[in-house]
Amino acid sequence: MKPDYGVRPELAADELRSLVKAFHKEGMEVYLEILFDKAGDTEKKLACLRYWATAYHVDGFHLLGEGVWPDMILRDPMLRNTKLIVGGFDNHAVYPDGPPKLRNVAVSHYGFEQTMRRLLKSDEDMLPAALGLIRENPSAHGVIHYMASQDGFTMMDMVSYDYRHNEANGEDNEDGTGYNYSWNCGVEGPTRKVSVRLEDDDREIRLRQGLCLFDIVAYYSRRARTYDNYGLWSRPSIFDF
């Protein structure tokens, strides 16, 4: 945690605790994204997760890298009920006795994002892959689908640029992925030409509507299948469905 992000740096830890508490009061959960590489002691990494879970009461972790595997965390007495978001894992290794009663692990990867972006801009042969991802609902874990995240292009960028433009970051535009599967709708970035802006605005609005629709369809199709099978209605949760 970087103290400079706090209103009062010397009280940054207390401010973060208050922030988490405020989110919980509004019914929202807080997840901490952490990168663990293969180097380093596994026990120290688990201690790090225990600290954030107990000292700040975060609800779960988005784990990046290959330094800590879900089965290690789910065997830990202090972390076994923590919600985890991972890029993928071996169901049989984590749940050797079959699907768990508590689905507290979800898989999130770039497959949905990339496939749906390519489908939206009319790349060939994307429909079978898109249907497979929309229908994805394994019994052992949850699935998180999104069209944009904190990494890469925003939804607005997706319909405004063909190429990344990170020059302001001071890294010669080398940071960030070069594969964003976007379309600039005819003009790269903003333009002052009114005729072009009007035409582009219409295209961009339609594309953004399509992006939102893909997210909604993927989310509610999984929920609908669950309701049909089990007749369940409850508070929406990526881990419940």
pLDDT of 69-90, one tens digit each? 888 888 899 998 899 998 887 7
Confidence of residue 207 (pLDDT cuts 50, 70, 90): low
d(CA 46, CA 63): 12
**Alpha carbon distances (Å) from 113 to 17, 117, 119, 127, 145:** 32, 6, 10, 14, 7
According to the model, what pLDDT value does residue 55 have? 94
Backbone angles phi, psi at 27, to 5 degrees: 80, 20
pTM for this structure?
0.72
Q: Mean pLDDT over all residues of the chain?
A: 78
- Do 177 and 150 contact (CB within 8 A), yes or no? no
Strands (E) located in 36-145: 60-64, 83-86, 105-108, 142-144
pLDDT at 185 over 50: yes
Q: How far apart are CA 197 and CA 191, in angstroms?
A: 7
The mean per-residue pLDDT over the stretch 110-133 comes to 86
pLDDT in tens, 152-177: 787 778 878 888 887 777 888 777 77
Q: Provide the CA 217 distance to its chain's centre, in angstroms.
A: 17
The segment with the largest mean pLDDT, out of 26-30, 37-41, 168-172, 192-196, is 26-30
At 210 the pLDDT is 67
